[in-house]
Amino acid sequence: MVVWAVGILLLVIKLGIVMVTLLLGAAYLVLAERKLLGRLQIRYGPNRAGPFGLLQPIADTVKMMLKEDTVPQSADRVIFLIAPAVVATAALLIFAVVPFGNTLTISGVRIPLVISDLNIGLLYVFALSSIGVYGVALGGWASNSKYSLLGAIRGAAQMISYELSLGLSLVPVVMMSRSFSLVDIVNSQAACPFILLLPVSFMLFFVSSMAEIKRIPFDLPEAENELGAGYHTEYSGMRFGLFFLGEYVNMVVLGALITVFFLGGWRGPLLPPLVWFVIKVLCIVFLMIWTRGTLPRLRYDQLMQLGWKALVPISLVNIIITGSLILLRGS
């Protein structure tokens, strides 16, 4: 009974810490992105609220909380109100299976630094990223606005297309580690991170994941110039904030996933595991921001062409080659 209660308590503490870190991280990621993007374009970025603009996320949050939460008259009320939560929740839930450190031992109690070591963790990740599509599609549809609807259609088409190469690009990783569990995947990279063994998979996964979270070269669902703001055109206040939050949590989560799948997770010399994990995630996040500062948006047909004619065939060939190499080495 006591062991059980301690277990629950530990889980709740872990959940709380991860949740708060993720939300704060997402808020400050917004600032980091705006600052970095500014420097990439030879300007300063926000630097008025507090020293170096460090209070900007708080100011933004207060602003969004205080804004009026408008619902368009002809919107599908219930779906309209739920959709942002779907996006944010799906993004936050993915982190449940991400191992962010080695097993801690505090006075004899072993605490694995992962909320839940699911043995089908990878499938769980894909399932949740598919649920994220619902938030976009339903939000855009329920708004009853042509821009929202167009954005939602684009979003759904894009995310479903790229999920294919996203999943296929990870098949080699599963073949190498012989497990769907993210903890096992990190453990099987003890000798050598998978980015060195599977560079093609890494590239495929990186590109597809950028499309999956609608980052800039693939931000067609919210293309400002054509669609207003795409699927969240009609949202205001904290509901818009939830969409925004989901997007940035997604950035952190995908950084974490790439770290787990290809960069060896929390493994690294000298520094403590947690620090290594954070450093690797930040590197990936920087790469995403750098890409945003560099590349223009793809056209819709280019997007589909890249997804179906380039990424999917390449990932299929990648699976065959990796599989045959594993077979050859094994025999």
- Assess 294 for contact with other proteins (CB under 8 A): yes
Minimum separation from the CB atom of position 286 to other proteins (A): 10
Candidate ranges 131-139, 147-155, 286-294, 298-306; the one touching other proteins (CB under 8 A): 286-294
In whole angstroms, what is the distance from residue 51 CA to residue 55 CA? 8
Kindly tell me which residue out of 72, 237, 268, 293 binds other proteins, with binding defined by CB under 8 A: 293
* Residue nearer to other proteins on the CB measure, 128 or 298: 298
Q: Which two tokens stand for residue 53?
A: 């603009």
Contacts of 51 (CB under 8 A, 6+ apart): none
Bridge partners (DSSP) listed for residue 111: 104
- Assess 295 for contact with other proteins (CB under 8 A): yes
Contact 168, 316 (CB under 8 A): yes
Q: Coil, helix or strand for 42?
A: coil
Contact 114, 97 (CB under 8 A): yes
- Assess 112 for contact with other proteins (CB under 8 A): no
Kindly tell me which residue out of 36, 71, 160, 282 binds other proteins, with binding defined by CB under 8 A: 36
* Residue nearer to other proteins on the CB measure, 46 or 264: 46
- Assess 44 for contact with other proteins (CB under 8 A): yes
Kindly tell me which residue out of 10, 23, 40, 71 binds other proteins, with binding defined by CB under 8 A: 40
In whole angstroms, what is the distance from residue 243 CA to residue 83 CA? 9
Minimum separation from the CB atom of position 216 to other proteins (A): 12
Kindly tell me which residue out of 9, 127, 178, 290 binds other proteins, with binding defined by CB under 8 A: 290
Minimum separation from the CB atom of position 42 to other proteins (A): 5
In whole angstroms, what is the distance from residue 233 CA to residue 223 CA? 11
In whole angstroms, what is the distance from residue 89 CA to residue 40 CA? 32
In whole angstroms, what is the distance from residue 228 CA to residue 72 CA? 16
Candidate ranges 67-75, 191-199, 289-297, 309-317; the one touching other proteins (CB under 8 A): 289-297
- Assess 43 for contact with other proteins (CB under 8 A): yes
- Torsion on CA atoms 180, 181, 182, 188, rounded to nearest 10: -80
Nearest to 165, CA basis, from 206, 193, 124: 206
Minimum separation from the CB atom of position 217 to other proteins (A): 11
Kindly tell me which residue out of 41, 70, 302, 305 binds other proteins, with binding defined by CB under 8 A: 41
Minimum separation from the CB atom of position 306 to other proteins (A): 12
Radius of gyration of the chain (CA): 20
Candidate ranges 24-32, 42-50, 76-84, 234-242; the one touching other proteins (CB under 8 A): 42-50
In whole angstroms, what is the distance from residue 247 CA to residue 27 CA? 11
Kindly tell me which residue out of 14, 21, 38, 76 binds other proteins, with binding defined by CB under 8 A: 38
Minimum separation from the CB atom of position 150 to other proteins (A): 28
Nearest to 205, CA basis, from 263, 119, 135: 263
Candidate ranges 19-27, 167-175, 180-188, 290-298; the one touching other proteins (CB under 8 A): 290-298
- Assess 42 for contact with other proteins (CB under 8 A): yes
First-residue to last-residue Cα distance in the chain: 50
Kindly tell me which residue out of 17, 39, 190, 327 binds other proteins, with binding defined by CB under 8 A: 39
CA atoms within 13 A on the CB side of 116: 15
Using CB under 8 A, count the residues that bind other proteins: 14
Minimum separation from the CB atom of position 303 to other proteins (A): 16
Q: Which two tokens stand for residue 60?
A: 């933004």
Binding residues for other proteins, rule: CB under 8 A, are: 36, 38-44, 47, 290-291, 293-295
